[in-house]
Amino acid sequence: MATYRAGVIGLGRMGSTFDDEITQGGSLFLPYCHGPTYHAAPNVELVSGADLHAEQGAIFGERWGLGSAHIYSDYREMLEKEDLDIVSVCTTARVRSTIVQDVARAGVKAIWAEKPISLSLAEADEIVETCRAEGVALAINCARRWNPFFSEARKLIDDGEIGDVLQVTVYAQCGLSHNGSHAIDILRYMAGGNVEWVFGEMQSDEAAAGEGDLQGNGYLVFDNGVRGYLRSTACGAAPWEVDVIGTTGRIRSVNNAETFELIRMVPGGRRGRGVPARCPFPWPVRMQGMGLTIVEDLISAIENGTSPKCSGEDGREALEVAVALRESHRRGGVKVALPVEDRSLQILSSEIRGDDTPARIRRLQAR
């Protein structure tokens, strides 16, 4: 079994310490974030890290057993000196596009980048095209695709267990770019197609007129006939729910993937039209840390020339849907087709606020 050398750019929360904050599973299974995953993966060697902030580099090196010679303040020096196969990009989205492209051109085999893929559609296009040209597998960390229960749900759909999918609804109060990347991506994953056009309603006219991350609601039309609904404004008693309705059954994920329900139509009921009956949801055969599943997927992409489960194209699509929903509101609630023509359009993900200070430090200061 080949061993792959890995490095991480951005050594803060998602690069290293996020797993320390997790006290229960739900949509997450550990190891989840980048440093802990590489440290735990049997066929990966975590060999280096890079961060502008010396304190983060020191913490990372001590935590994962790396000497100071392998911790860099300049990621370009790391790419030059370390013979890396896989690189994670866990920096602020403000610089993600430039860094991902630099990494791709440095000769690595795969990149695992945080979400959102970028701030603008033009940046997303550049990332996708550069990785394609360099033959680099790119995975965007919309991680619900690798959640074992969502994977089982997708298998049930593919096996025809709920008939033909008619509608997917996602409830997730969040900004459309930052955590909206997760919401839009899992909607697309469950729908199993590509979005052709949308209607959108944002939280306010003022928010829609700007470029900041914003909440909104939307109607999505897919090329396979599925219809999608997204509510990212206040969701009340439905926090992070996913509801997939088929012709003969239904799958529902409740409370951020803590509970999964499978409902099938059984004979009976008024005029013999059938009765919805709750059935046991099949547990996945394997329950491992989602980061390990992502790395397995990346290595498979390297070795077999396949596309990661959430590829650069998928990450771009999530951003494009968000932009299109906002554009629909801006234009008075009209239908907006994908792809969006104006590639300069952007949403300034909420994660870039105060990004001159590491997110780990900001969270500590907020306590």
Q: Give pLDDT tens digits for 146-200.
A: 999 999 999 999 999 999 999 999 999 999 999 999 999 999 999 999 999 999 9
Contacts 24+ apart (CB under 8 A), 246-249: 246/157, 246/162, 246/163, 246/164, 246/165, 246/166, 247/162, 247/163, 247/164, 247/166, 248/162, 248/163, 249/161, 249/162, 249/163
pLDDT given at position 238: 96
Q: pLDDT at residue 272 above 80? A: no
217 confidence band (pLDDT: 50, 70, 90): very high
Chain-centre distance for alpha carbon 151: 14
Q: pLDDT at residue 274 above 80? A: yes
Q: pLDDT at residue 348 above 80? A: yes
pLDDT given at position 134: 98
* Average pLDDT rounded to a whole number, residues 251-272: 92
The predicted model scores a pTM of 0.96
Q: 137 with 109: CB under 8 angstroms?
A: yes
Total Cβ atoms within 10 A of residue 190: 25
pLDDT given at position 366: 74
pLDDT given at position 26: 74
Q: Which amino acid is at 192?
A: G
Q: Give pLDDT tens digits for 24-76.
A: 777 889 999 999 999 999 999 999 999 999 999 999 999 999 999 999 999 99
pLDDT given at position 58: 96
The conformation of residue 193, written as its DSSP 8-state character, comes to S
* Nearest Cα to Cα of residue 221 among 264, 288, 176, 168: 168
What CA–CA distance (Å, rounded) separates 74 from 7?
13
pLDDT given at position 10: 98
Q: Which amino acid is at 149?
A: F
pLDDT given at position 75: 98
211 confidence band (pLDDT: 50, 70, 90): very high
What CA–CA distance (Å, rounded) separates 169 from 216?
14
* Average pLDDT rounded to a whole number, residues 101-105: 98
Q: Give pLDDT tens digits for 119-139.
A: 999 999 999 999 999 999 999
What CA–CA distance (Å, rounded) separates 173 from 28?
18
14 confidence band (pLDDT: 50, 70, 90): very high
Q: Work out the mean pLDDT of the chain and round it to a whole number.
A: 96
pLDDT given at position 185: 98
What CA–CA distance (Å, rounded) separates 162 from 367?
45
363 confidence band (pLDDT: 50, 70, 90): confident
285 confidence band (pLDDT: 50, 70, 90): confident
What CA–CA distance (Å, rounded) separates 345 from 331?
14
All structural domains of the chain, each given as residue ranges with its CATH number in brackets, are: 4-144+289-310 (3.40.50.720), 147-284+317-337 (3.30.360.10)
Q: pLDDT at residue 365 above 80? A: no
Q: Give pLDDT tens digits for 222-257.
A: 999 999 999 999 999 999 999 999 999 999 999 999
* Average pLDDT rounded to a whole number, residues 294-310: 98
What CA–CA distance (Å, rounded) separates 215 from 231?
8
359 confidence band (pLDDT: 50, 70, 90): confident
* Average pLDDT rounded to a whole number, residues 272-278: 88
